[in-house]
Amino acid sequence: MAVTSFADKYTATGLVGERYSDFYLNFSTNRGTKDLARLTNENAIIRSIKNIVLTRKGEKPFFPQYGCNILSMLFENFNEFTASTLETEIETAIQNFEPRVQTVRVSAQNNIDRNEVYVTIYFNTINSTETISINVLLTRIR
């Protein structure tokens, strides 16, 4: 009896180089196969991080600790302390809810004229040493 490892099954299905996979939030379909379209590798992680950052704590049913409380900070006077608190909140949320990310660094810059905060998130995945960056624009809704 031959024993096949997960890696053998992984390459046998033609998914070489695909480490992570997720569905699009709008459940769009692949035109050729009519299956659900997928995000793969770093794109799946980027979508997950954006979901974590833009979800308020208590917004996800049965999982009240999921997300960040950053949207409530947008109405505060933005100074160095607010920027540091915002960065720490995002870093903590990503470390708690995204196990595929190894290191996280966040930078927040304020655009006072437009009432916006530009957040740049730098991270490395567990299986890679490449640093990936995401830009998220946080705006106040009136």
Strand 116-125: give its sheet, edge to edge: 101-111, 116-125, 131-139
For residue 3, is pLDDT > 80?
A: no
Tell me what the mean pLDDT of segment 43-61 comes to: 88
pLDDT at 85: 92
* Residue 89 · residue 74 · CB < 8 Å: no
3 state DSSP class of 75: helix
pLDDT at 11: 40
Looking at the DSSP bridge assignments, the partners of residue 133 are 122
Looking at the DSSP bridge assignments, the partners of residue 134 are 121
pLDDT grade, residue 15 (50/70/90)? Answer: very low
pLDDT at 105: 94
Give the right CATH number for 19-25+32-139 from 3.10.450.40, 3.90.245.10, 3.90.1300.10, 3.30.565.10.
3.10.450.40
- pLDDT tens string 25-44: 666 677 777 776 666 677 78
- pLDDT tens string 61-101: 998 999 998 877 877 788 888 889 999 999 999 999 999 89
pLDDT grade, residue 140 (50/70/90)? Answer: confident
Considering only CA atoms, which of 70, 87, 71 is closest in space to residue 121? 87
Sorted by where each begins, the domain ranges of the chain are: 19-25+32-139
- pLDDT tens string 17-30: 556 666 666 666 77
pLDDT grade, residue 133 (50/70/90)? Answer: very high
